[in-house]
Amino acid sequence: MNMAELAAAAEAILFAAGDPLPIERLCVALSLQENEARSVLQYLKDRLDARESGLCLVFLEDKAQLCTRPAYADAVRLALETRKPSSLTQTALEVLSIVAYRQPVTKSFVEQIRGVDSGYTLSSLVDKGLIEEAGRLEVPGRPILYKTTDLFLRTFGISSLEELPPLPPDTAGQLPLPEETPAG
C-alpha cells in the first residue's frame, strides 16, 4: 500500500477503535515498524488538518486517537444533547497534580502532602476517568496506587507526561517528600 492507502487504513482502524489505540496494534495490522507507523499517523494527522476535517488525530504517549475537532465541539454537543464536563475544583486539581507529578501514589501520600483527607476527591477523579488504580504498594495494608490515564493526557491537551509544566527546580530537588508509611 502506498502512504495514502496506509493512512486511510489507519483512519478506518482508529475510527472503529474509538478508544486510544496502541501504535503497536497498527504495526501488527499494517505490517509496519514503529517509526513507519508513526509517520503514517503523522501523515494522516496532517491530511486531516489540511482539508479542515471535522476530525483530528491526537497522539497520547504510545497511542493515537481520532477525535472531533475542538472548533466543532459545541455543534456536536448540541446535536447529541450532551453537556460540557464541569470544571475541576481547586482541590481536585491539587490532588491531580500530586498524582500526575509523583505517580504512582497512594491515598495516604496525597493526604500527607495536603494535610487533609483526600479519599473523596480521589474517587471522584477516578469516576471522571482522569486517574486509575495502578496496582498496590507492597507494604502491610497493600494500599492502592493511583496514576493518570490517557483521558488525563487528552483532557489537558498533552500527548505525554513529559509535556507537563515542569516543577520549579529548587524546591523539587531540595525538599524530601513525605515517606511512604503504611500507617499514613
Which residues contact other proteins (rule: CB under 8 A)? 15-19, 56, 58, 65-68, 70-71, 73, 76-77, 84-85, 87-88, 90-91, 93-94, 96-98, 100-101, 113-117, 153-158, 164-165, 167-168, 171-172, 175-178
Q: What whole-number distance in Å separates Cα of residue 170 and Cα of residue 13?
A: 45
Nearest CA-CA partner of 184 in 135, 114, 132, 120: 114
Closer residue to other proteins in complex, CB, 98/137: 98
Q: How far is the CB of 45 from other proteins (least distance, A)?
A: 13
Count CB neighbours of 70 within 10 A. 9
Closer residue to other proteins in complex, CB, 27/158: 158
Closer residue to other proteins in complex, CB, 7/65: 65
Q: How far is the CB of 120 from other proteins (least distance, A)?
A: 11
Cβ atoms of residues 105 and 145 within 8 Å: yes
Closer residue to other proteins in complex, CB, 33/157: 157
Q: What is the 3-state secondary structure (H, E, C) of 83-115?
A: CCCCCCCHHHHHHHHHHHHHCCEEHHHHHHHHC
Farthest-apart Cα atoms in the chain, separation:
59
Q: How far is the CB of 44 from other proteins (least distance, A)?
A: 15
Measure CA 61 to chain center: 8
Q: How far is the CB of 139 from other proteins (least distance, A)?
A: 15
Q: How far is the CB of 2 from other proteins (least distance, A)?
A: 26
